[in-house]
Each structure stands twice: as structure tokens, then as C-alpha cells.
């Protein structure tokens, strides 16, 4: 292969087994490093975009709806999912206003013993919340912090749940919808090769 300055790849890893997928990505990274090639890649495997892309553009309905680094998109749009579990419902009740104040975001109550919130920088916030609760005599039984994924970002941006994935998207108009079906025969006139 020559050394292009710009390379477009459309879903290059679709259908590959894990070993072939890793080999493909190594070749792409080598090409980028060795020749300074800019790689413009489309993928539905958002873990690939998260791991390898310097910049991520999220599209929905044929339009770019976000454009930034994966880290920036995850930090600003999704946030870390933080969950605190308590031994009693009374502890969860007492913790709710303090957690809401420190989180600076809405806190939900999935059940009587659990508080949850999506927060920026949950890794730093979680120890602070636990210390504050402890100083108030509120015992945290369990705590988890899960960083967001680009899947989370996509769902926040599009407002779709995974359940909606099979629902038809917005109608796209323009040249693409007017183009003939790729599998349809192309009309020819006498003397032209078909």
C-alpha cells in the first residue's frame, strides 16, 4: 500500500474476530504513526472510537451533532454514574440533600436504599461525598463509580434508548434518496456496454 495523506475507512472492523480486529487496528495505527496519515473512519463500535480516535464526530439523522475528543464528550455530556448504598432507608433519606448539594445534579432513588447521580469527575467526588456523609454519622454501605462510555454519550445526544434502536429514524432528503438503487439495472442504449 502507498502512503496516503488521507485515508477513509468505512466500518473496517465489522465482522472481524477479535484477533483480526486487533491486527487491523495495529496496521491503522502504524500507518498513522509511520506516514502521518489522517484516518477518517466510520464505525458503530464506539469502544473503538473511544480507544483510538483523537477526535470523535457523532452523527444522527445524517447530521453531525457533536464533535470533540472522546474524553471531552464523555465528561461534558454523560458524566460518571455514581451510586451510594445505605443499610437503612432513613440513612438514604438523610443523605439525599447532602449528596444532591455536593453532586450539583439531580439525584435519583432507584430503590429505598440507593442514591444515584451522573456527575462530572465522579472519581474525585465519590470520596468527598463519603467523607461528608461519615462526618454527619451517615454510614455508606457500598459505593460505585462507573465512567461513561461513548454509547452513553450517543444516547444522551440522540435522546434514544436502546429500545428505540429499531424504530425508524428521521427521514433523510437530498441526493442520496433520489439516487437509483445500487442493485437496480442501469438502463443502457444500443451500442453501449452494459
**Would strands 6-10 and 38-42 be described as parallel, antiparallel, or unpaired?**
parallel
Q: pLDDT exceeding 70 applies to what percent of the chain? A: 81
Does pTM top 0.75 for this prediction? no
Q: What is the pLDDT of residue 166?
A: 52
Mean pLDDT score of the chain = 82
Region 55-81 average pLDDT = 89
Closest-CA residue to 98 (of 65, 67, 132): 132
The correct answer on CATH 3.30.70 for the domain covering 79-149 is: yes
Q: What is the pLDDT of residue 1?
A: 56
Task: Return the CATH number of 6-74+152-158, one of 3.40.630.30, 3.40.50.10490, 3.40.50.300, 3.40.640.10.
Answer: 3.40.50.300
Report the alpha-carbon distance of residue 75 to residue 116 in Å, rounded.
17
Q: What is the pLDDT of residue 69?
A: 93
Domain boundaries, given as residue ranges, for the chain: 6-74+152-158, 79-149
Q: What is the pLDDT of residue 101?
A: 94
Amino acid at each position: 500500500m502507498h502512503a496516503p495523506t488521507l485515508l477513509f475507512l468505512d466500518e473496517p472492523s465489522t465482522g472481524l474476530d477479535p484477533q483480526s480486529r486487533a491486527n487491523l487496528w495495529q496496521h491503522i495505527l502504524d500507518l498513522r504513526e509511520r506516514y502521518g496519515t489522517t484516518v477518517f473512519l466510520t464505525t458503530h463500535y464506539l469502544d473503538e472510537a473511544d480507544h483510538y480516535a483523537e477526535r470523535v464526530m457523532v452523527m444522527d439523522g445524517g447530521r453531525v451533532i457533536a464533535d470533540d475528543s472522546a474524553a471531552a464528550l464523555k465528561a461534558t455530556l454523560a458524566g460518571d454514574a455514581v451510586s451510594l448504598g445505605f443499610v437503612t432507608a432513613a440513612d438514604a433519606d438523610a443523605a439525599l440533600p447532602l449528596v444532591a448539594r455536593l453532586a450539583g445534579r439531580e439525584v435519583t432513588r432507584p430503590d429505598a436504599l440507593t442514591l444515584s447521580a451522573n456527575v462530572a469527575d465522579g472519581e474525585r467526588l465519590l470520596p468527598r461525598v463519603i467523607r461528608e456523609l461519615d462526618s454527619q454519622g451517615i454510614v455508606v454501605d457500598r459505593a460505585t463509580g462507573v465512567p461513561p462510555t461513548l454509547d452513553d454519550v450517543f444516547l444522551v445526544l440522540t435522546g434514544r434508548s436502546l429500545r428505540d434502536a429499531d424504530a425508524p429514524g428521521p427521514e433523510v432528503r437530498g441526493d442520496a434518496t433520489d439516487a437509483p438503487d445500487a442493485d437496480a439495472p442501469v438502463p443502457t442504449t444500443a451500442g453501449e456496454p452494459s
